[in-house]
Every structure is written in C-alpha cells, then in structure tokens.
Structure 1
Amino acid sequence: MSKKLKVLMSGGGTGGHIFPAVAIAQEIQKRFPDAEFLFMGANGKMEMEKVPQAGFKIEGLNIAGFDRGNLLANVNLPFKVISSLLKARKIIKEFQPDFAVGTGGFASGPALFIAARMGIPTFIQEQNSLPGKTNIFNAKKAKTVFTSYPNMEKFFHGTKTLFLGNPIRKNIITDIIDSDLAKEKLGLEKGKLTILSVGGSLGSRTLNNGWKENINQVLEKNYQLIWQTGKLDYKNILEETKDIHSRNIQIVEFIKNMEMAYSAADVIVSRAGAIAISELAIAKKPVLLVPFPFAAEDHQTKNAQTLVDKNAAKMVKDTEMKEKFWNTLSEICENEGLRKEMAQNLDFFAKPKATEEIVDEIFKNLNIKE
C-alpha cells in the first residue's frame, strides 16, 4: 500500500473480547509494520489497561450496559449512549480509519455503529456460540462476521458469516509438547493420570469447593492434580490442605506456562469461556466443563453444550457439582477409549490459524495487497 493503513479496533469489558482484538491488530501489524491503530474502549473497564500494555493507543467512551440488577442505575444510560456516539463520531472523523473491527463489549456498539454510518467497512469477530447483543446489532451493517462456532448464520441474517475460530495465544499453538516430558518438567510422575483444573485468572470458587470435597478421592485413586486456585482462595486452600503431603497434588495461584500445564494434563477441568475453549481444542485433551452461570446471557453454558453435542466434552453445571462432579470426572478418567474419542472430536473446534485467516479475509474483502 502506498498510504499508511489505519485501523480502528473496538472490544472490551472482558479478556474474552480484548484478547481477540489485540491478536487481530498484532497480525495486521506483522504484515504492515507502519500501520496505525486506534482502539476504542469503555472507561473504567480492563481494556483501558490491557490495550496500552500490548502497545496500542486507546480512547475511552463513557458507556455502560443495561443493569438488570439495579434498574435505577440505568437512569443515565440514554445520556451515556448519546455522549458515546458523539465522542465516537469525533474520534473516527479525526482518525479516518480504512476499516473497523469489533469483537464485542459495550464500547464496540457505538464505535462500529458510527463507523458504518460514516461509510467505513466494518467486520465483527464473535467468540461465543450465543452472540452478544452488541455484535448482533452491528452485524447488520458489517461486511463479514467471523464466528468461533459453526452454523451461526441464524443470528446474523443476511450478513456473510465465516466459521474461522477464535484468535488465541501463539505459544498454545506452537509450544504443546509430549505429555510425559511436560510431567517431568513440572516435577510430576510420568505415566500417571494427571488432571489440570483451571478457573481463570481469578479462579473459580465452584471448582475450588469441588476439589476440597473430593481431594481424598484424588489421593485414593493416585491421580496427579495441578490445581490452579486463583488469587482469592489460594491462601485459604493452602491452609486447609496443609496436612496433605503428596507430590501428586500441586496447588498454584496462577499458571504462567499454560502450554506446559496443557501438555502435562490427561484430563482438564475448566470454566467454559470462549477463549479457554478455543485453547482446549488446540490442546486436544478431554475436558470436563463447568460453565460460569453468571456470564452474560449464560453464554458459557451454551458454549459448553455445543461441545457436549459433538461428544467433545462433558459438562457439569454449578448447581450439580455435589451430585455429579466426581462421578462425571471419574467416567472420563477411568475410560481411555472415551478420552481418545473426546480428544479427537475436539479437533473440529481447533482453529490454530484463526487470526491469520481472519486478517486474510479482511484484506481480500477490501482488496488490500500485501
């Protein structure tokens, strides 16, 4: 390209929206090192910190979602929407992007709406099997919607929809190693069935309580457990389990080398966030999903159900943990044939080239030559 490429990115509220936006921007930057990027986020949300950490400029809008729990908090919502639309218009007019990409969250509503109104080509990347309202609304004017699950045309009537997967961390794709070697590196025994439990960076109290109730079963079965507790429960769990002196149980607050933990695992227990599921599909390890029930529109349960329907995962709901957690986990751990079948079926959802293919499609649509 003769003139410098300018790209508007918008997405936030959660890591599940922010990370795909950053990954897409990084892929474009790899191809056009002098490209200029501007992110639009919501003031007070995590994107205002995470996007600059990734090296990109961000502008904040004073936008929030509809609060169903506290209706009085919505009194100012119309004013916030109007002020966000006006600010988005001013920012876009000054920046003059060649195209805009939205990944969901409050801020991408006004950002993509105004961009489309100003004749700027817009693209949407949807992470979940049940799309967010912002993406459904903006899809009407979008060139293409990139989805992470198949058969999602029904949500985006009349808009070109491509099942390309979620952009995920590069090292998950490149650094998965032999299971026994990973166990050795983590100080675990080779050949012994290993369970990895991950509940996100803050951890999951539901999963933590599940393990506390069943820790003796893990020891009796002689399974190995890598138990990521998250920040909030870590100290209490260490205190409560201080009498358990077993190298089979590794309790950690946070896992930095996720690719190593995935490699070592024979079975994974996880929440059902979109990005987590995309990483699990790449790792190709049988998984028990425990969806977070308070995610927007219960999308984690919908994500998990999509995998369950293809026999690529098992699911236990929060409310079923006491009755079903250990029995369902045992069914996976004690049946090698089932584990192999689940791992193979996960391959359908594995999209290691998602980021590259999304950018390829954007460039092809706009006839941008590299």
Structure 2
Amino acid sequence: MKKIIIAGGGTGGHIFPAIAIANAIKQQAPGTDILFVGAKGKMEMQRVPQAGYSIKGIDIAGFNRSSLIKNLGLPFKLIKSFFQVKNIIRDFKPDAVIGVGGYSSFPVLRSAQAKGIPTFIHESNSFAGKANIMLSKKATQVFVASEGMDKFFPAEKIKITGNPVRKAIVNAHATQKEALRFFGLDDSLKTLLVVGGSLGARSINQVISSHVQDFETVGLQVIWQTGKNGAEAYIQRGKSFENVWVSEFITEMDKAYAAADLVISRAGAMAVTELCVAKKPVIFVPFPFAAEDHQTVNARYLVEKEAAILVKDEEVQAKLYPALVKLAMDEEKQEKLKTNIAKLAVTNADEVIAGAVLSAI
C-alpha cells in the first residue's frame, strides 16, 4: 500500500483541485493511504474532512501585504511549521508528496525533498509562484496548466496536464430548469452567476450591491456568492429581492453553473478552468493584487481567443454593470463566447496527474 501526502490550501482554488487529485488516485489505486497537510484555521481544515480525507494542520501563514507589522511572527511560524512537518513525515512515512500551492505546501515539500522522498508540484496559474519555482529544482515532476512554463521550471520536468476540475462539474447532469428550482429562481428569466472566490471580491460585490435593485428592470435574476469577507452585509442587502439568491458560499457549484446564462468572476486559475468546462459566457474581473498579477494573465489568455470579456478592477465601478447589461442583451456575443471558451476545456487533468504520480513511485 502506497502512502501519499497532499499539501497546500488556503483557498478553494487550491483545495478543490487537491481533492480531485486525491479522488483520482483512490480510483486508480484504491489501497492508497492519503493524508492532507494544510494551514490551521484555513478552509482546508473543514473542506478536506468533508470530502472524506484526513488532514493535519500546521502553524503557518502567508506574507501580509496590507500590514507589515503582522509579518513579524512569520519567521517563528515557519520554523515551527518545519518541526511539525518533520514529525508528520516521520510518523506517516509517505512514498510521495504532492504540492498544490498555498503557503502550507512549501515546508512539506522542502522537508520531503531533504529526505529524498519523490515530490510533485501542480502549478495551476500561467505565472508560477516563487515557492513552486524554488521547489521545482528538486521535484520529480511539475504539472502545469498551459504551455510556456519552461521560463519558470526545468523543461525536462514539466508535464502539461491542465487543471483538475471537480467531477461534479465535469459530469454535471442537472438541467437549467432543475438547477434554477434548486435555487428557488424563475426559469423564464436570464440568470447571472456572480462568484468572487471563496474569500470574496470586494469590488465585484460592491457593484452587485449597488445595482441589486436594477436587475429586475433588465430582466435578470442573480445567484450571488459573496465569499467570506463582508458576507453578512451583502446577504442582508440581497435577500429581500425575490430575483436574488445570495449566500457566502455555494457548495453545489455544478448546479450554479447549470443555472447560469452569464457569469461575473475573478480570474483565478481554477475559476477559469471550471468556466471553460461549464461553457459559460463570462466577464472576468481579475484581482489586481494577486502575485505577479497572474489573474490578469489568466484572463487575457481567454480574451485573446475571444472566449471572455475583461473588466479591470480599477474600472469596475464605471464599467462592470454596463458591460453586463450589454452582454445580457447580445445573444450572438453570448454564443460566440460559449463556443470559444468550450474549446479550451480540459476534463481529465486529475486522472493524468494521478497516473503520473502512481507510475513514478
């Protein structure tokens, strides 16, 4: 029986692909023992057990760009996390470690590499993170979503796989009418899905909040995932409107995609990947403070292929609502975006990654 650690998390964009990889490994090698390692207090500590896997939490945090004083304890947390990881690896004795991104992946992969344990990296973005670049030098293999990643990683270690997507989304079978019934919405109206990520997107939420009374006028109803930050105020704002379903988090995203005619979204790698699979006309509002502005890079890749629309975050107050209304009224544009985004869909990345890891250990 093989033992594998999967390390990383922090956001749904890291956690859900990690769970997809774990599920694919279990399908190909049912006897495999899988342990997750994540950051204490982060959403993986809840989502991973819900998916049926064990997880160990370590004391680590990322660099806080908005408050430098909050970073004073980072060196101590990093040192503590290495001791915690050392004990986890000693007790579990993994045959391989997979890093999916997020700050908890670094000490786990670095410690595994020091012990000569095979390590694998999945880089979901088109602009690689610094930690993954450092770790790739001693990694067994690096799985990437797109071409041109040899400027970040050793070319001989790269395998282009795409990004793993939850099987519930890949194999979604709910009709739009069934999905709208799930959200308690009207199947005669055009439906907008708003998703800013698991933590939320303030700029997008502010626009939706300020125009929530206008959607009925233009024949739209809304499924609005506010994300964690500021959720209560947005939920209070939206819940009095019959044509608005609002919540902090959407558990059944397959139904949300099935219900939607149009989408407004951040441009994290997993959001982009899922929208390609779901084949939805989308307006991306990239988070401008993502590392190396990688969300803008992600979105522009689709815009250049006429597969999406981009509104810059700094222009969102003036341009997002007009862009949305214009797209909602243009059926021909919607069909063009759907056709082109569907061409970019990858549905088996989890299986390819699982197979490559199992064959290498």
Q: TM-score, normalised to structure 2's length?
A: 0.87
The ranges of structure 1 where at least 4 consecutive aligned residues each deviate by more than 6 angstroms after the TM superposition are none
Match of 2:278 among 270, 279, 283: 283
Match of 2:345 among 323, 328, 350: 350
1:354 offset after TM fit, Å? 1.4
Question: Relative to 1, partners in 2 of residues 1:10 and 1:202: Cα closer, same or farther, differing over 3 Å?
Answer: closer
Could you say which residue in structure 2 is the equivalent of 1:22? 19
Could you say which residue in structure 1 is the equivalent of 2:246? 252
Could you say which residue in structure 1 is the equivalent of 2:217? 220
Question: Relative to 1, partners in 2 of residues 1:236 and 1:37: Cα closer, same or farther, differing over 3 Å?
Answer: closer
Quick check: 1:98 aligned with 2:95? yes
Question: Relative to 1, partners in 2 of residues 1:80 and 1:134: Cα closer, same or farther, differing over 3 Å?
Answer: same
Quick check: 1:262 aligned with 2:260? no
Q: Percent of counterpart pairs with the same letter?
A: 45
Contact persistence 1:140–1:159 (CA under 8 A): no
Highest Rg: 1 or 2?
1
Contact persistence 1:103–1:135 (CA under 8 A): no
Question: Relative to 1, partners in 2 of residues 1:74 and 1:266: Cα closer, same or farther, differing over 3 Å?
Answer: closer
Quick check: 1:47 aligned with 2:41? no
Contact persistence 1:229–1:251 (CA under 8 A): no
Give the secondary structure class of the aligned counterpart of 1:119. coil
Question: Relative to 1, partners in 2 of residues 1:334 and 1:8: Cα closer, same or farther, differing over 3 Å?
Answer: same
Inter-partner Cα distance in structure 2 for 1:193 and 1:42 = 40
Inter-partner Cα distance in structure 2 for 1:22 and 1:243 = 36
Inter-partner Cα distance in structure 2 for 1:73 and 1:101 = 29
1:297 offset after TM fit, Å? 4.1
Inter-partner Cα distance in structure 2 for 1:180 and 1:97 = 46
Contact persistence 1:23–1:355 (CA under 8 A): yes
Give the secondary structure class of the aligned counterpart of 1:106. coil
1:242 offset after TM fit, Å? 7.8
Question: Relative to 1, partners in 2 of residues 1:185 and 1:148: Cα closer, same or farther, differing over 3 Å?
Answer: same
Number of residue pairs matched? 360
Could you say which residue in structure 2 is the equivalent of 1:144? 141
RMSD, aligned α-carbons: 2.8
Contact persistence 1:12–1:103 (CA under 8 A): yes
Task: Give ranges in structure 2 of 5+ residues lacking alignment.
Answer: none
Could you say which residue in structure 1 is the equivalent of 2:192? 195
Moved more, 140-149 or 63-72: 63-72
Could you say which residue in structure 1 is the equivalent of 2:153? 156
1:290 offset after TM fit, Å? 1.6
Give the secondary structure class of the aligned counterpart of 1:332. helix
Contact persistence 1:99–1:122 (CA under 8 A): yes
Contact persistence 1:142–1:159 (CA under 8 A): no
Inter-partner Cα distance in structure 1 for 2:236 and 2:157 = 54
Moved more, 8-17 or 31-40: 31-40
1:88 offset after TM fit, Å? 2.8
Inter-partner Cα distance in structure 1 for 2:283 and 2:86 = 45
Structure 2 letter corresponding to 1:194: T
Moved more, 65-74 or 331-340: 65-74
Contact persistence 1:129–1:306 (CA under 8 A): no
Inter-partner Cα distance in structure 2 for 1:343 and 1:235 = 33
Inter-partner Cα distance in structure 2 for 1:190 and 1:52 = 35
Q: TM-score, normalised to structure 1's length?
A: 0.85
1:288 offset after TM fit, Å? 0.6
1:114-148 C-alpha deviation (Å, 9 max, x unpaired): 21222211111112222222211111111221122
Structure 2 letter corresponding to 1:5: K
1:155 offset after TM fit, Å? 1.4
Question: Relative to 1, partners in 2 of residues 1:159 and 1:142: Cα closer, same or farther, differing over 3 Å?
Answer: farther
Could you say which residue in structure 2 is the equivalent of 1:274? 269
Structure 1 letter corresponding to 2:170: I
Task: Give ranges in structure 1 of 5+ residues lacking alignment.
Answer: none
1:158 offset after TM fit, Å? 3.4
